[in-house]
Amino acid sequence: MLTVGVTLRSIVIGLILIPVNCFWVVIAEIMWYSGEPTTISLFYNVIFILTLLILGNLAVRRFKPAWALTPPEILVVYTMLAIASALCGHDMLEILVPILSHLYRYAPIEGRFREILPYIPDWLVVKDPAALQSAYIGQESMYRAENLVPWLGPLAWWSRRSRNSRWSCRCRRGPRFVRRKARFRCIRSTRTGSVLPPYRRTG
């Protein structure tokens, strides 16, 4: 009998561990710029945290078996940490934030940037000089309205784009997609009855 893994406690544990996990990723990939935990197929930061969680779960199981996490619940925690690592890691949010600000920040220095500025929608990038100065120089709170508000619009649009990408990846694996893919990519030969790719069709 299968046990449901998406329980309240598995979600709570995942939410508690996500900030610790993301802090590790950001420190390693931005400040230390070494290790790069999200550039390999298995995120070792997630595996390490999961190992500690499993060891702790074994101790709990020994003294309070009813409190121990089930394997599906541990899988839920692993999934949450892996997705969070992918979103905050290299080639995602770590690259997206500079994309939002780099163009207008360095346009006065890089002359050729001005050639493409007319083609960039204002709602996709941050162009407020005060907000850019605060982000790149620091020394003041990012939560001040003049520093935070210019980022909200572009972040909302890019978050929507990221959400749509994840949703499309989820939907494209449904049965309808599989059937359509098989119909468009394969041709049944009337002579042999075999399924052949289109580029191998003859006669």
Q: What is the DSSP string of 34-49?
A: -S-GGGSSS-HHHHHH
Residue that the structure tokens 């893994």 belong to: 5
Nearest to 6 by CA among 64, 96, 80: 80
Say whether both 51 and 124 belong to one domain.
Answer: no
CA dist 7 and 110 (Å) reads: 52
Asked, for residue 128, whether it belongs to a domain, the answer is yes
CA-nearest of 72, 79, 80, 74 to 3 is 72
3-state helix, strand, coil in the chain (%, to 5): 70, 0, 30
Residue 60 lies in a domain: yes
pLDDT at 46: 92
**Residue 176 within any structural domain of the chain:** no
Quick check: is 178 in a domain?
no
Residue at 197 is within a domain = no
> 34 lies in a domain?
yes
Q: Is the domain of 52 the same as that of 76?
A: yes
DSSP state of 139: S
Burial (CB < 10 A; 0-12, 13-18, 19+), residue 150, is buried
Asked whether residue 85 falls in the same domain as residue 141, the answer is no
Q: Give pLDDT, residue 184.
A: 42
Residue that terminates a domain, selected from 48, 65, 91? 91
- Decide which of 64, 91, 118 is a domain's last residue: 91
* pLDDT of the residue at 60: 93
Q: What is the predicted pLDDT for the residue at 50?
A: 94
Contact present, 189 and 198 (Cβ < 8 Å): no
Q: Give domain status of residue 195, yes or no.
A: no
Q: Is residue 189 part of a domain?
A: no
* CA 160, chain centre distance (Å): 13
Q: What is the pTM of this model?
A: 0.64
Domain residues for the domain of 22 are 8-91
Query: What is the mean pLDDT of each successive set of 10 residues along the chain, which is 203 residues long?
Result: 73 93 86 78 89 94 90 92 86 75 77 77 84 81 83 85 73 52 42 44 43
Q: What is the pLDDT of residue 172?
A: 56
Q: How many domains, in total, are found in the chain?
A: 2
Same domain, 24 and 54: yes
Which of 66, 91, 116 corresponds to the end of one domain? 91
Identify whether the C-beta of residue 89 lies closer than 8 Å to the C-beta of residue 25. Answer: yes
